[in-house]
Each structure stands twice: as C-alpha cells, then as structure tokens.
Amino acid sequence: MTEFKPIGLIHTPNTDKSLTPIQSARSDLPGTVEVFSQYTEGLQGLEEFSHIFVFYEFHKSEKDIALLVNPYLDEKKHGLFATRFPCRPNPLGFSVVRLVTRKENILFISGADMLDGSPLLDIKPYIPEFDVFDATRTGWFKNRSVK
C-alpha cells in the first residue's frame, strides 16, 4: 500500500458524469488546475510547454469494481484494463490537456474531461519524442459501436 496525497484540486464545468466529455482529445472545455501553494516552485517553466499530463483521482467512481466492463464507446464488454473505464482497482485518471497559461499556482487549461473537484496527484510535461507512439493495433476501439 502506498498513500497518495492530493497536491491540488481540479476545477472544471463537469459536475454531471453523464455530461462529461469522453477524453480530453474530444473536449475543448476550459478548466483550472489549482496546485497547492507549497508546490508553486515546482511549476517553474511548466508554462513553456503547450500540453501537460494531469494525473488525478477518480474520486466519484464506484469502489466495487468489475473486471469486465462496457466502455462508453462500445456496447460489448471488454477486460477493464483494455479500457479507460474509471472504476478501477486504483482510481487513477489522467488527461493530456492544453496549458493555456499559468498564474502562480493556477494552471488555466483547455480540454477538461475530468469531474469538478478531482484531487490532483501529479503533473508531467507532454513531450512528443517520449509520448507519441505508432500504435498499429487498437483492439475493440477500432471496431467500436459508438463513434
């Protein structure tokens, strides 16, 4: 067991799960990432990156998890780890969002797909040389029933 502690809070327009965009790549909603002020120094230079990974807790997801689930974009069941479904053994979510600007400990973002109030766990820069892969096979996603 490892204790993960919130290092901030994410504020978004998404207060209703059913109206929340599926994936940041499909969202142009604005949001703010409030990093607790004791960590402000750790944000130095982050504003020079156009995109960032934001890691957070799926704080509203069910604690009872199923290992076969219906992802939002398909009507068939798939192994939980072959999906991005939010009810997971460890409720870890991440989104790649556009970093519009930083004002001290507040990050203004675009592409918010997380629920309002999500506890922030980490931030890392998005670097295409590290993060873009030529994934040739995407399983059920390629043949999904919902576009």
> Is-contact 57 4, C-beta < 8 A?
yes
Give CA separation, 28 vs 8, 10, 12, 141, in Å. 22, 16, 11, 22
**Per CB under 8 A, 119 contacts its own copies:** yes
Binding of its own copies by 28 (CB under 8 A): no
Structural element, H or E, at residue 128: helix 128-131
Contact code string over 62-81 relative to its own copies, x by CB under 8 A = -----xx---------xxxx
Bridge partners (DSSP) listed for residue 125: 52
User: Is 103 near its own copies (CB under 8 A)?
Assistant: no
Is there a contact between 66 and 138 (Cβ–Cβ < 8 Å)?
Answer: no
CB of 19 to its own copies, least distance (A): 19
Cβ closest to its own copies, residue 12 vs residue 118: 118
Q: Is 106 in the site for its own copies (CB under 8 A)?
A: no
Q: How many angstroms separate the Cα of 88 from the Cα of each of 30, 31, 38, 39?
A: 26, 24, 30, 28
What's the min distance (Å) between Cβ of 116 and its own copies?
Answer: 18
CA angle 105, 24, 147 (to 5 degrees): 175
The residue written with tokens 């995109």 in the block is 51
Q: Which is nearer to its own copies, 13 or 94 (CB)?
A: 94
State yes or no: residue 15 binds its own copies (CB under 8 A).
no
Q: Which of 9, 29, 32, 43 binds its own copies (CB under 8 A)?
A: 43
Instruction: Tell me if 136 sits within 8 A of 70, measured CB to CB.
Output: no
The site for its own copies (CB under 8 A) is made up of 1-5, 7, 23-25, 35, 39, 41-46, 48-51, 55, 57, 67-68, 78-84, 88-92, 94, 96, 98, 119, 121-133, 135-141
